[in-house]
Chains A and B, each alone.
Chain A
Amino acid sequence: MGYLEVVRQLDDFTWEIPRDAQEGMRVPGVVFADRALLEKADADNALQQVANVACLPGIVKASLAMPDIHWGYGFPIGGVAATDAEEGVVSPGGVGYDISCGVRLIKTALSYREAAGKLREALDLLEAGVPKGLGTKGRLRMGRREMEHMMARGAKELVARGIGWEEDLEAMEERGCYPGADPSRVSEKAYARGRDQVGTLGAGNHFLELQVVEEVYPLAERLGLFPEQLVIMVHSGSRGMGHQICTDFIQIMGSTLGKYGYRLPDRQLVCAPVKSREGREYLAAMACAANFAMCNREAITHWIRECFERAFRASARSLGMEVLYDVSHNLAKFEPHEVEGRNRMLLVHRKGATRAFPASRPEVAERYSRTGQPVIIPGDMGSHSFVLVGTEEALRKSFGSTCHGAGRQLSRKAAKKKVRGEELRRRLEDRGIMVRAGHPAGLAEEAPEAYKDVREVVEICEGAGLSRRVARTRPVAVIKG
Chain B
Amino acid sequence: MEHTADVGIRAYGAGLGEVFRNCALGMMSLMLDLEKVRREKRIRIEAEAGDREALLVAWLSEVLFHVEAEGFAFGWFTEVELSDEKAAAWGWGEPLDPARHGLKLEVKAPTYHGLELREDGGMWVAQVIFDV
Query: Which residues of B sit under 8 angstroms from A318, Cβ to Cβ?
Result: none
Interface size in chain A (residues, C-beta < 8 A) = 47
B2 close to A (CB within 8 Å): yes
Docked complex Cα distance between A413 and B129 (Å):
13
Contact B129 A73 (CB under 8 A): yes
Our count of residue pairs bridging A and B at CB distance below 8 angstroms stands at 117
Contact A135 B111 (CB under 8 A): no
A74-B106 contact in complex given A135-B98, A189-B65, A267-B53, C-beta closer than 8 Å: no
| Chain B residues within 8 Å of A, Cβ to Cβ | 2-7, 31-32, 49-50, 53-54, 57-58, 61, 65, 68-71, 96, 98, 102-106, 108-109, 111-115, 129, 131-132
A70 close to B (CB within 8 Å): yes
Query: Which residues of B sit under 8 angstroms from A243, Cβ to Cβ?
Result: 68, 108-109, 131
A268-B112 contact in complex given A411-B3, A439-B103, A442-B105, C-beta closer than 8 Å: yes
Q: From A414, which residue of chain B is reached at the shortest CB distance?
A: B2
Contact A409 B58 (CB under 8 A): no
Contact A97 B96 (CB under 8 A): no
Docked complex Cα distance between A192 and B131 (Å):
20
Q: Which of A241-299 contact B (CB under 8 A)?
A: 243-244, 246-247, 250-251, 254-255, 266-268, 270
Query: Which residues of A sit under 8 angstroms from B108, Cβ to Cβ?
Result: 97-98, 243
Contact B57 A203 (CB under 8 A): no
Docked complex Cα distance between A438 and B109 (Å):
21
A71 close to B (CB within 8 Å): yes
A134 close to B (CB within 8 Å): yes
A138 close to B (CB within 8 Å): no
Query: Which residues of B sit under 8 angstroms from A135, Cβ to Cβ?
Result: 68, 71, 96, 98, 103
Contact A254 B50 (CB under 8 A): yes
Query: Which residues of A sit under 8 angstroms from B98, Cβ to Cβ?
Result: 133-136
Best-buried of B2, B4, B104, B132 by chain A (most CB within 10 Å) = B4
Contact B7 A73 (CB under 8 A): no
Query: Which residues of B sit under 8 angstroms from A412, Cβ to Cβ?
Result: 6-7, 105, 132
A378 close to B (CB within 8 Å): no
* 9 contacting pairs across A/B (C-beta < 8 A): A71-B5, A73-B5, A98-B108, A134-B103, A189-B65, A203-B105, A204-B105, A243-B108, A445-B105
A77 close to B (CB within 8 Å): yes
State how many angstroms separate the Cβ of A324 from the closest Cβ of chain B: 27
Contact A247 B61 (CB under 8 A): yes
Contact B132 A204 (CB under 8 A): yes
Docked complex Cα distance between A454 and B72 (Å):
38
Contact A250 B112 (CB under 8 A): yes
State how many angstroms separate the Cβ of B68 from the closest Cβ of chain A: 5
A195 close to B (CB within 8 Å): yes
Query: Which residues of B sit under 8 angstroms from A203, Cβ to Cβ?
Result: 105-106
Contact A70 B5 (CB under 8 A): yes
A380-409 vs B, CB cutoff 8 Å, 1 = contact: the mask equals 000000000000000000000000000011
Docked complex Cα distance between A255 and B108 (Å):
21
Q: From A135, which residue of chain B is reached at the shortest CB distance?
A: B96
A119 close to B (CB within 8 Å): no
Q: From B3, which residue of chain A is reached at the shortest CB distance?
A: A411
Other 16 A-B pairs with CB < 8 A, given A251-B57, A442-B105: A73-B114, A77-B5, A135-B96, A193-B69, A204-B106, A243-B108, A244-B65, A251-B58, A266-B112, A267-B113, A270-B112, A412-B7, A412-B132, A439-B102, A439-B103, A439-B104
A311 close to B (CB within 8 Å): no
Q: From A417, which residue of chain B is reached at the shortest CB distance?
A: B2
Contact B49 A251 (CB under 8 A): yes
Smallest CB-CB A-B distances: 10 pairs:
A73-B113, A203-B106, A192-B69, A411-B2, A267-B112, A268-B113, A73-B111, A243-B108, A97-B108, A268-B112
Query: Which residues of A sit under 8 angstroms from B71, Cβ to Cβ?
Result: 135
Query: Which residues of B sit under 8 angstroms from A44, Cβ to Cβ?
Result: 4
State how many angstroms separate the Cβ of B93 from the closest Cβ of chain A: 13
A189-231 vs B, CB cutoff 8 Å, 1 = contact: the mask equals 1001101000000111000000000000000000000000000
Query: Which residues of B sit under 8 angstroms from A244, Cβ to Cβ?
Result: 65
Docked complex Cα distance between A385 and B19 (Å):
43
